Chain A
Amino acid sequence: MKHEQLDPIAHVFKVLAKPSRIEVLRELLLGPRTVGELESLCSISPASLAQTINVLKQDGVLGVKSVQNLEFVEIIDERVRSAVRSFFPELDLAQGIPTEVLNQDSVPQRSAKPAPSGSDTLMRILTALNDSDQTD
């Protein structure tokens, strides 16, 4: 096997070469988080966290998106995500836990279908709103 073919694997190990990076990536396994959330979850200082995020972003491992004054961080390199997940199998269990169960015991459910993901659903809602605007 040529070494060039192994470069992506070497890249994963290079990314994971520091505990601080692994700690940040572990917290991002369950989905995007704000920088503020990461600060409260990780043991490293805010300055180290900012540096770690910056390095991982430059390496193409993390994506950072700003909404107003908040920065959201997420893993965008699926190889790295898989590698980190393999070290923390217990976190896979948490993926199925719903965000929140609302106190609506007395309210009949409109639909038995499971709720789709937030962004997909909201895209549909906004499309419907735009369509209704055009017909008004």
Chain B
Amino acid sequence: MVRKTALVVDDFAVVRNTIRGIIEPKGIDVIEAENGRRGLELLKEMPKLPDMIFVDLNMPEMDGLQFCEHLYGEIKVPIIMVTTEIKEELKSKAKLYGVKCWVMKPITPDRIMKAVELVVRG
């Protein structure tokens, strides 16, 4: 498989490290952001868009939905929402903003890799 790149946006370093630990050995390099605003800045810095974005829903400064709203219609990168929320209205809103997968915490390798396979398969 061609090596890929993911942006991981989460305010908890332990979550970012966990996702990195799962996907890096599978051939996906990781760039990390601690909130949505930093994520947008990194997307601008990156000469090439990532192949996928993992984003937490609840974050200070700019949350996951606001982050997705900023990107919606502007760039086409599959977004995977990682969260503890189960509210259908949030899922509907996320879908409206282009979120492709909804992964429930606690994070497990199976859940993360299933989402990766979904977005890679298209």
Interface residues of A (CB under 8 A from B): 31-34, 36-37, 39-41, 65, 67-70, 72, 74, 98-104, 107, 109-111, 115-116, 118-119, 121-123, 125-126, 129
CB B120 to nearest CB in A, in angstroms, measures 10
CB A53 to nearest CB in B, in angstroms, measures 14
The interface-forming segment of B46-54, B81-89, B103-111 is B46-54
B37 close to chain A: CB less than 8 A: yes
Residues of A within 8 A of B5 (CB): 34, 36-37, 70
Q: Is the CB of A36 within 8 A of B3?
A: yes
Q: Is the CB of B2 within 8 A of A41?
A: yes
Residue of chain B at shortest CB distance from A100:
B76
B117 close to chain A: CB less than 8 A: no
Q: Is the CB of A123 within 8 A of B96?
A: no
Alpha-carbon separation in the docked complex, A38 to B1 (Å): 12
Nearest 10 Cβ contacts at the A-B interface: A32-B47, A122-B44, A36-B3, A40-B3, A32-B48, A72-B47, A121-B74, A118-B75, A37-B3, A118-B49
- Of the four ranges (under 10, 10 to 19, 20 to 34, 35 or more), the interface on chain B belongs to 20 to 34
Q: Is the CB of A101 within 8 A of B42?
A: no
Given known contacts A67-B42, A70-B29, A37 and B4 CB-to-CB distance under 8 angstroms: yes
CB A69 to nearest CB in B, in angstroms, measures 8
Interface residues of B (CB under 8 A from A): 1-5, 27, 29, 31-32, 37, 40-49, 70, 72-78, 95-96, 98, 100, 119, 122
Residue of chain A at shortest CB distance from B37:
A129
Residues of A within 8 A of B29 (CB): 34, 36, 69-70
Q: Is the CB of A40 within 8 A of B75?
A: no
Alpha-carbon separation in the docked complex, A74 to B46 (Å): 11
Residues of B within 8 A of A40 (CB): 1-3, 27
